[in-house]
């Protein structure tokens, strides 16, 4: 807890059995709520998570990274979290920065905090493939130009949000795939939320999850499409639910649908 605000860490996970315990062991004591959503792993991720005392939710099918995050945020809000930090269970990002990121949100200065692998210049030293680094820089420059902000990167998977952000953004309008992350930042910009960054080292190793070249290409095209949609909505050329207050939100839409089930 920080300044009376309950801190939740959510961990979207898929086949993270080998790295999960190390990730959890490094979470700071300020964390009040620990949640893991297992996207139908083929290993023992879920059972290990339960042994480690984490609130564990298991999807009945492999729905994708974006859908996993929707469940993560929904359950964190239900548990009463005021600040939610997403930490990947593959130990690619250090959990030791959770306190700093949560504190930046708790201060009221920022609504969203991104842990940047680019600030500090350690991405390549940490093992980021050169083609991913180049694509990161090009896509980031492109989005800074068209979204009208200046971030060091849009593609980190380590981020913190205030409760208000998660309740307001129409997250159910986003992709079930990896581009969900990028769409969420674009939504935060569209809705006027304040985004801060913190430097974060990264580690690429065998057990850490990483999408291949084909999936990376698909993600890159998704980023371009996300940016084009942002610009079209901003200029009034198109009205996209993803960037509109009428878009479906994770709590309102979910519980409305659940109530209608027999």
Q: Identify whether the C-beta of residue 204 lies closer than 8 Å to the C-beta of residue 210.
A: yes
Set out the domains of the chain in order of their start, with CATH numbers. 7-259 (3.90.550.10)
- Give, for 18, the enclosing helix (H) or strand (E): helix 17-25
pLDDT in tens, 16-60: 999 999 999 999 999 999 999 999 999 999 999 999 999 999 998
Q: Residue 216: its pLDDT value, please?
A: 79
Whole-angstrom distance, CA of residue 200 vs CA of residue 194: 19
pLDDT in tens, 143-184: 999 999 999 999 999 999 999 999 999 999 999 999 999 999
Average pLDDT over residues 210-235: 87
Q: Residue 129: its pLDDT value, please?
A: 76
Q: Residue 207: its pLDDT value, please?
A: 54
pLDDT in tens, 240-253: 999 999 899 987 44
């Amino acid at each position: 807890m920080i300044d009376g605000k309950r801190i939740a860490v959510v961990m979207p996970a898929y086949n993270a059995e080998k790295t999960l315990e190390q990730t959890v062991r490094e979470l700071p004591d300020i964390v009040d709520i620990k949640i893991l959503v297992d996207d139908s792993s083929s290993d023992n991720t879920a059972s290990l998570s339960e042994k480690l005392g984490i609130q564990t939710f298991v999807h009945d099918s492999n729905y994708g990274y974006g859908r996993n995050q929707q469940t993560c945020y929904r359950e964190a809000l239900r548990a009463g979290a005021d600040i939610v930090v997403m930490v990947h269970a593959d130990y690619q990002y250090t959990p030791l920065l959770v306190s700093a990121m949560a504190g930046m949100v708790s201060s009221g200065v920022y609504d969203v905090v991104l842990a940047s692998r680019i600030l500090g210049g350690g991405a390549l030293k940490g093992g980021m493939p050169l083609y991913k680094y180049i694509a990161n820089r090009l896509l980031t420059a492109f989005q800074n130009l068209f979204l009208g902000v200046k971030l060091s990167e849009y593609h980190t998977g380590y981020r913190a949000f205030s409760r208000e952000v998660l309740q307001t953004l129409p997250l159910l309008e986003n992709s079930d795939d990896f581009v969900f992350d990028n769409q969420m930042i674009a939504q935060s910009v569209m809705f006027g939320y304040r985004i801060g960054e913190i430097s974060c080292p990264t580690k690429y190793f065998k057990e850490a999850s990483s999408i291949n070249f084909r999936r990376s290409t698909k993600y890159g095209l998704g980023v371009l499409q996300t940016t084009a949609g942002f610009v079209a909505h901003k200029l009034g050329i198109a009205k996209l639910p993803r960037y509109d207050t009428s878009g479906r939100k994770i709590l309102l839409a979910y519980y409305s649908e659940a109530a209608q089930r027999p």
